[in-house]
Amino acid sequence: MKKKDDLERLRKKIDQINAEILELLNERASVVLEVGKVKKKAKSDYHVLDREHKIYQKLAKLNKGPFPSSAIRPVFREIISASLSLEHELRVAYLGPEATFCHIAAIQQFGQSATFIQSRSLRDVFNMVERGDSDYGVVPIENTTEGVVNPTLDMFIDSLLKISAEILLGVSHHLLSKKGKLEGIKEIYSHSQAIAQCSNWLERNVPDIPVLEIFSTAKAAQSAAKNPKIAAIAGEFAAKFYGLKPIFKNIEDNPKNFTRFWVIGKKSTGSTGEDKTSVMLSVKDGVGALHKTLKPFAKHKINLAKIESRPFRQRPWEYIFFIDLEGHTNDKNVSRALDEVKDTAQFLKILGSYPKSESKT
């Protein structure tokens, strides 16, 4: 009897705390509305990504537990998203249809209260942001198994948009169908990247079933939902969204399968102290030209996290190098290094400085 009384007392205490949290959330929302009025009067940006990042940083440092630090960002992301929706509609374009990994990444970054706009191609995502039809876009840039998404890099050659943030998303693929059984399945659909990420598993387990490329994993899930003879390689979110059941779970060849996405916008974000900068450059022809161009980064003690090369379409047999470096253009050493690189490179374009991603799930 005493245990039951103790449980009831603790539940009442939780109910009381929940009510206090709700009251504080409404108080916070009222302040957000006041902030919105001030921003509107000052004609300043209503959404600032680096401000959000600093909020998460500060809260993580303040947290003394037992509430897990890993839960702070997802909880406050939804609080910020809901509060921001009272101030202004935040529009985010992504490579659709609904329930793609790009869609999931967009929700992970901006929360459920943003307005998500699906696009049919990477070019459409860029165009929507450039025209102002969307505040941000979310595009894939690389996968731990399949490497860089070259069409995304190519879009930056001509685009004036900036990278505003990065998102790391753990990607797990399931083989899905309406009935959740392999019997009767005649074809398997998925996006080329997902198929490549599961190629060894497919060869070992379903060698006799044709695997066909389709526009996206979500489109494959849509097809499987309409036809019981089709199975789709897609994620858990797509399974729930389209009412599918797993035939096999976690069929990706690499259990540590992550995809990195970039958030694109019209402005770079401010410095947070935990930033990356991405640039593109080409070098003058000559022996040691690339080494000479990159030397300032070593001189100013800047770590280059990634270097990728792509053919320069406007100039046959020349290449553009895409570089991720640690630091922000506001940092003195980064600024000085880039100034020196500009003197030696054929051309240099800064794609943006942005906070490093913290979340991988």
Residue 349: strand pairing partners: 280
* The two structure tokens encoding residue 91: 């529009």
Band of pLDDT at residue 315, cut at 50, 70 and 90? low
In which region does residue 187 sit, left (phi positive, over 0), alpha (psi from -120 to 50) or beta (all else)?
beta
Does the pLDDT of residue 3 top 80, yes or no?
A: no
What ranges make up the beta strands (E) of 124-173? 136-143, 147-148, 162-170
Instruction: Count Cβ atoms below 10 Å from residue 340 Cβ, excluding itself.
Output: 16
- 99 vs 287, residue with greater confidence: 99
Average pLDDT on 239-265 reads 94
2-86 and 271-355: identical CATH topology: no
User: Counting beta carbons within 10 angstroms of the beta carbon of residue 221, is it exposed (0 to 12), middle (13 to 18) or buried (19 or more)?
Assistant: buried
> CATH number of the domain at 89-171+258-263, out of 3.40.640.10, 3.30.70.890, 3.40.190.10, 3.60.15.10?
3.40.190.10
Pairwise CA distance, residues 173 & 34, whole Å: 44
| Helix, strand, or coil (residue 290) | helix
Residues 6+ apart with CB under 8 A from 17: none
Q: Is 337 helix (H, G, I), strand (E, B) or coil?
A: helix
With residue 52 as reference, give the H or E element that holds it.
helix 49-62
Q: Does domain 174-248 match CATH 3.40.190.10?
A: yes
Averaged pLDDT, 121-147: 93
User: How far apart (Å, rounded) are the C-alpha atoms in residues 142 and 30?
Assistant: 40
| Rounded distance between C-alpha atoms, residue 170 and residue 359, angstroms | 9
Q: What is the mean pLDDT of residues 280-301?
A: 88
Q: What angle do CA 210, 212, 217 make, to 5 degrees?
A: 130
For the chain, what percentages of helix, strand and coil (3-state, to nearest 5) are there? Answer: 45, 25, 30
Q: pTM for the whole thing?
A: 0.88
For the chain, the structural domain boundaries read 2-86, 89-171+258-263, 174-248, 271-355
| Residue 286 burial (10 A CB sphere; 0-12, 13-18, 19+) | exposed
Identify the CATH number of the domain defined by range 2-86. Answer: 1.20.59.10
The fold adopted by the segment(s) 271-355 is: Alpha-Beta Plaits (3.30.70)
Say if residues 224 and 242 touch (Cβ distance below 8 Å).
Answer: yes
Element (H, E) at 333: helix 332-344
pLDDT, tens only, 49-99: 888 989 999 999 999 999 999 999 999 999 999 998 998 899 999 988 899
The pLDDT of residue 317: 59
SS3 220: helix
Q: What mean pLDDT, rounded, does the chain reach?
A: 91
Over residues 202-224, mean pLDDT:
94
- Examine the pLDDT at 23 and tell me if it is beyond 60: yes
Confidence check: pLDDT of 210 > 70: yes
